[in-house]
């Protein structure tokens, strides 16, 4: 039997799918609906001194008819009082004792203020705390959020303050708006964090309205940079998660966030080192019921691979991510076009001729010109395979398994 139980730094949940801190976790009503639907845990929308949000808060990037490929928001933390939030958190945890309930926190950078909010939050019976070191807009301008998460010394200091009084596991939520996320994870680890979660949203402006000449979302003729999330950010999130999972200076559990909307996405995050995953944008788009596909799909895949628990495959892919100079320069693949399924759209030829390596020619057959790969010129870049609209029509075929001839070895020979 497949067991989806997840464990992040001692915080257990019936499955690895948590709601990330955001609009879907703003109230007891919403979190109760989520738990009834089957979500394993929830990180409450960030609690702190309530703010006033603007009207007109979201914008999106659509792609090929698909809505919200990327979502931008200029919404800030909770606009509800600390008292109201903590009362509802206590009620949720009492009603759903087996689900993970995490309090996301953001307050001004003073030790006594952090001590107070930590104690009040843990008095609710919550399972853990998430420190919001990632909000890229609004709060960072006030010296909080990513203003903390971009400076290792600040992240370590505040994490240390929290750990002075915290009785439950502490998760540091990291910003992607840095050159290298590893020093921030290392700082949180030195400060005593029990886990990290990432990524928070990416600084963004999604576009400009060419009629009004103002970007969206528009607030009385003006806008502000916002936080970008959704499926478009998943590759960035996977890279940052894997970099921390492979970093010996930050041996710390990871909660993966960023563009997760299918069970396959979750499996990828876990393979690259995440102990669980958090979802927000997909719920804002499709609702809480997507949890049925997430849990069902992941369980079926695990069974097909012979994995009984999450731990059986967590981090299995980490070691396959290496530096470029460790890649085998003698490994070789070439493209192969299946004439039976080819629709002769010639996209592969155009892409290769104008944007790649001029390795496809047009050969006349039965009165038409068809694309044909020139094996001796093909460099195996994959572009034709990627642009082909017919699944399986163009395959990349291995012709040389390689001999371990890496750039690092070549440079070592020259230096020797």
In 3D space, the residue among 148, 152, 151 whose CA is nearest the CA of residue 131 turns out to be 148
What separation in angstroms does the CA of 281 have from each of 3, 21, 291?
26, 11, 13
Q: Does the annotation mark 135 as catalytic?
A: yes
The answer to whether 217 and 191 are in contact (CB under 8 A) is no
Nearest 5°: CA angle at 105, between 99 and 109? 160
Q: Provide the b/e sequence for 198-222 (b: ≥16 CB within 10 Å).
A: bbbbbbbebeeeeeeeebbbeeeee
Single out the catalytic residue among 135, 280, 348, 384: 135
C-alpha gyration radius of the chain: 24
Instruction: Provide the token pair at 168.
Output: 């439950």
In 3D space, the residue among 205, 141, 146, 130 whose CA is nearest the CA of residue 181 turns out to be 146
Cα–Cα dist 273/196, whole Å: 12
DSSP 33: H
DSSP secondary structure string for all residues of 288-341: GGGHHHHHHHHHHHHHHHT--BGGGTTTTTGGG---GGGSBTT-EEEEEE-TTT
The answer to whether 9 and 42 are in contact (CB under 8 A) is no
Nearest 5°: CA angle at 84, between 81 and 90? 135
Strands 254-257 and 195-198: parallel
Residues marked as catalytic: 135
């Amino acid at each position: 039997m497949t067991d989806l139980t997840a464990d992040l730094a001692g915080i257990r949940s019936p499955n690895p799918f948590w709601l990330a801190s955001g609009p879907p976790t703003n109230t007891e009503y919403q979190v109760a609906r989520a738990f009834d639907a089957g979500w394993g845990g929830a990180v409450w929308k960030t609690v702190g001194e309530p703010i006033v949000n603007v009207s007109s808060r979201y914008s999106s990037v659509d792609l090929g008819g698909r809505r919200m490929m990327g979502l931008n928001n200029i919404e800030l933390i909770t606009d509800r009082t600390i008292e109201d939030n903590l009362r509802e958190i206590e009620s949720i945890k009492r009603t759903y004792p087996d689900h993970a309930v995490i309090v996301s926190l953001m307050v001004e950078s003073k030790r006594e203020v952090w001590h107070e909010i930590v104690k009040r939050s843990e008095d609710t019976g919550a399972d853990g705390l998430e420190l919001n070191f990632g909000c890229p807009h609004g709060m960072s301008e006030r010296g909080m959020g990513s203003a903390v998460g971009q400076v290792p010394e600040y992240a370590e200091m505040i994490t240390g303050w929290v750990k002075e009084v915290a009785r439950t596991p502490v998760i540091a939520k990291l910003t992607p708006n840095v050159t290298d996320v590893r020093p921030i994870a290392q700082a949180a680890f030195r400060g005593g964090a029990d886990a990290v979660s990432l990524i928070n949203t990416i600084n963004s402006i999604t576009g400009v309205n060419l009629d009004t000449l103002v970007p969206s979302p528009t607030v009385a003729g003006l806008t502000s940079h916002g936080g970008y999330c959704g499926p478009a950010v998943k590759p960035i999130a996977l890279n940052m998660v894997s970099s921390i999972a492979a970093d010996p200076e930050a041996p710390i559990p990871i909660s993966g966030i960023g563009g997760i909307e299918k069970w396959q996405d979750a499996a990828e995050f876990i393979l690259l080192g995440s102990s669980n995953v958090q979802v927000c944008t997909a719920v804002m788009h499709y609702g809480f019921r997507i949890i049925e596909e997430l849990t069902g799909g992941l369980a079926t895949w695990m069974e097909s691979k012979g994995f009984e628990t999450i731990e059986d495959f967590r981090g299995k892919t980490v070691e396959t991510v290496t530096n470029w100079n460790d890649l085998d320069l003698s490994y070789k693949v070439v493209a192969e076009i299946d004439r039976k399924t080819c629709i002769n759209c010639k996209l592969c030829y155009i892409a290769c001729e104008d944007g790649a390596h001029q390795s496809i020619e047009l050969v006349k057959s039965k009165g038409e010109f068809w694309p044909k790969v020139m094996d001796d010129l093909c460099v195996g870049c994959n572009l034709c395979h990627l642009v082909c609209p017919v699944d399986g029509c163009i395959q990349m075929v291995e012709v040389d398994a390689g001999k371990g001839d890496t750039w690092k070895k070549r440079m070592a020979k020259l230096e020797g």
